[in-house]
Amino acid sequence: MNDSFSSILSSSNYINGKWHSAGNGELLLVIDKYTQKEITSVPFCSNAQMEKAIATSVKGFEELKKWSAGQRSDALEKMRAGLVENKEAFAQLIAAEAGKPIGYARGEMDRCIDTLKTAVSEALRFDGEMVPMDYNNGAGKVAFTRRFPIGPIAAISPFNFPLNLALHKIAPAIACGCSIVLKPAPQTPLVALAFAKLVDDLDCLPKGALNVLVANIPEAEMLVTDERMKFLSFTGSPQIGWKLKEICGKKKVALELGGNATVIVDETADIAQAAKLSAIGAFLYSGQICISTQRIFVHESISEAFTKLLVSEIEALKVGDPRDEKVMVSSIIQPIHVERISDWVNEAVEHGAKVLTGGKLVSEEHGLYAPTLLTNTEREMKVCAEEAFGPVAIIETFGDYKDAIEQTNDSVFGLQAGVFTNNFEHVKIAHQELEVGGVMINNIPGFRIDSMPYGGVKDSGLGREGIKYTMEEMTEPRLLVY
């Protein structure tokens, strides 16, 4: 066992304030993504354990919803302080089980602390609104809404931000008075269980208010379909997300499903800044980020100079062990995805795409693929049309700015986009015309602050994350008129 995170490690499922070291008889082997060595194993929960998690979540909700805003805020503050004390251990665990570069893992921990800090304050100020009523038939009336928690939350989190994206479900749920059952990604369950251990050690929530379980497909679907769960929050692939929406029944749903994000670089842009940020945005953590830069469209008048700068920035990125402080491109989460990425690149090249840099496996043993930039691509190629979720980007030119807008919109996805420009008319056009959830000016689409409304359109999902915005999803307004 790695001593750097052994103090926070748990290898059991957390249900109703108790740890369960046995499940359905199957074990999930969790490996270090770089060394491929076993970290530990966790039991898959049984059907009966999932039933218990759901039932106790209902009881936990009945208690938590009675808590004052101050009590909920105090509980979240204890969690925040606990993460501060254990920040490095959590970062080391993220680096091991997610293969995330340690600097980026520490950055995730900073964001986790900020996510909880935001929830601490939102729990105190979140409520309804005054409703204008003093006219016509409402003359002399006063009306306002209060927001009430809707009930237990079913949450499924992804591998790439194994704690922060779990906290984007847990923190707003607790802040507004909802209990939550979390199923973490099978590739990275340990950091979510470590957070459950922290909460358990703090003894800061009612039993059943937080349950964390490793679940196989039948038990996961049980969580999603059960009518006692009043909201489904899912972050993951479009294929799974839309299927879960179909089977989840009448409950409210929020889906964050990723995309093939674009950067547009016009003729007025600072191309050195755009190249440096685009290289990071495309290849940090091997591109395994929902808003990783995948498609780059650059004005033809600057394309040669920009491409030369971009290739130089890409080739300067260090590839290797995520625990190396200088590494930015690290292990791909599973061998099957290394193979998929290689197949997509080879397929593109076979159909006329040109490799400007990369395009090869660095280490099969460690799951490393070279940061790859392609050009002369076609929109139908997988590297363009689908979500690569790997260290692959494409670069193409445009003549007219509106062509770049149209090329960006020519996608089934629409999460975020980045536009590098010093022409304010182009800023306005981008905001008006880009079919995405967020437009980042002179920045990459991977920019995110945890309090902002974050989400997409089209196949990129439904609803918005960001603590206040998620709390709105997890509550219902109730009107009072007198």
**Which residue has 């509980």 as its token pair?**
75
Taking the CA atoms of the chain, what radius of gyration do you get in angstroms?
23
From first to last of the 482 residues of the chain, give the pLDDT tens digit. 577 999 999 999 999 999 999 999 999 999 999 999 999 999 999 999 999 999 999 999 999 999 999 999 999 999 999 999 999 999 999 999 999 999 999 999 999 999 999 999 999 999 999 999 999 999 999 999 999 999 999 999 999 999 999 999 999 999 999 999 999 999 999 999 999 999 999 999 999 999 999 999 999 999 999 999 999 999 999 999 999 999 999 999 999 999 999 999 999 999 999 999 999 999 999 999 999 999 999 999 999 999 999 999 999 999 999 999 999 999 999 999 999 999 999 999 999 999 999 999 999 999 999 999 999 999 999 999 999 999 999 999 999 999 999 999 999 999 999 999 999 999 999 999 999 999 999 999 999 999 999 999 999 999 999 999 999 999 999 999 99
Residues 328 and 337: their CA atoms lie apart, in Å, by 18
Q: Which two structure tokens, joined as six digits, stand for 434? A: 């880009």
Residues 83 and 149: their CA atoms lie apart, in Å, by 26
Residues 370 and 331: their CA atoms lie apart, in Å, by 10
CA distances from 444 to 262, 282, 371 (A): 8, 9, 17
Q: Look at residue 1 in the predicted model and tell me its pLDDT.
A: 56
Residues 84 and 451: their CA atoms lie apart, in Å, by 19
- Beta partners for 361? 369
- Beta partners for 18? 15
275, amino acid identity: A
Residues 164 and 158: their CA atoms lie apart, in Å, by 10
The answer to whether the beta carbons of residues 113 and 87 sit under 8 Å apart is yes
Choose, from 176, 248, 290, 384, the residue flagged as catalytic: 290
Residues 154 and 124: their CA atoms lie apart, in Å, by 24
What secondary structure does DSSP assign to 136-179, as a single string?
GGGTT--EEEEEEE-S-EEEE--SSSTTHHHHHHHHHHHHHT--
> Hey, is 20 helix, strand or coil?
strand
CA distances from 48 to 102, 214, 249 (A): 38, 13, 21
| The pTM of the whole model exceeds 0.95 | yes
CA distances from 413 to 296, 461, 476 (A): 15, 9, 29
CB atoms within 10 A of CB 317: 18
Q: Which two structure tokens, joined as six digits, stand for 77? A: 């503050």
- CA dihedral of residues 372, 377, 380, 381 (deg, nearest 10): -30
Q: Look at residue 3 in the predicted model and tell me its pLDDT.
A: 78
Residues 343 and 386: their CA atoms lie apart, in Å, by 13
Residues 189 and 144: their CA atoms lie apart, in Å, by 42
Q: Which two structure tokens, joined as six digits, stand for 321? A: 């062990």
The answer to whether the beta carbons of residues 337 and 389 sit under 8 Å apart is yes
Choose, from 108, 122, 219, 256, the residue flagged as catalytic: 256
> Hey, is 45 helix, strand or coil?
coil
Q: Which domains does the chain have, with CATH numbers?
A: 13-258+459-481 (3.40.605.10), 262-449 (3.40.309.10)
Burial classification of residue 95, based on how many CB atoms lie within 10 Å of its CB (0-12 exposed, 13-18 middle, 19 or more buried): buried
Let me know if 290 is a catalytic residue: yes
